[in-house]
């Protein structure tokens, strides 16, 4: 799992993914999305990856998704 999280971090830093972090009170919600090129998002069959962890006393929920969900 650490390699998946590291890859998501690199994609955020490189600007190849859309990344966002929100303070939800009890935890921080981290979104990493648009990791798959637009022409392959519907045919890739990739599923989201979710992870929860605590770092330095702070709780995090991470959602890594092939495409961004619109609300």
Q: Is residue 69 in a domain?
A: no
The pLDDT tens digits of the residues spanning 8-53 come to 889 999 998 999 999 999 999 999 998 877 777 666 677 888 999 9
Q: What is the pLDDT of residue 6?
A: 87
Q: Is residue 71 in a domain?
A: no
Q: Is residue 70 in a domain?
A: no
CB atoms within 10 A of CB 59: 14
Q: Is residue 17 in a domain?
A: yes
| Comparison of pLDDT for 17 and 70, the residue scoring more | 17
The candidate with the shortest Cα–Cα distance to 2, out of 48, 47, 65, 62, is 62
Predicted TM-score (pTM) of the model is: 0.77
* In the block, residue with structure tokens 């650490």: 2
**The pLDDT of residue 71 is above 60:** no
The string of DSSP codes covering 24-64 is: -SSSEEEEEE--S-GGGTTTS----EEEEEEETTEEEEEEE
Q: Is residue 34 in a domain?
A: yes
Q: Is residue 57 in a domain?
A: yes
How many distinct structural domains can be found in the chain? 1
Domain residues for the domain of 19 are 2-64
Q: What is the pLDDT of residue 8?
A: 87
Q: Is residue 50 in a domain?
A: yes
**The pLDDT of residue 61 is above 80:** yes
């Amino acid at each position: 799992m650490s390699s998946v999280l590291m890859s998501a971090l690199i994609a955020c830093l490189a600007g190849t993914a859309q990344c966002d972090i929100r303070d939800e009170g009890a935890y921080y919600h981290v979104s990493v999305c648009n990791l798959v090129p637009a022409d392959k998002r519907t045919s890739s069959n990739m599923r989201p990856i979710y992870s929860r962890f605590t770092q330095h006393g702070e709780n995090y929920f991470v959602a890594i998704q092939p495409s961004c969900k619109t609300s």
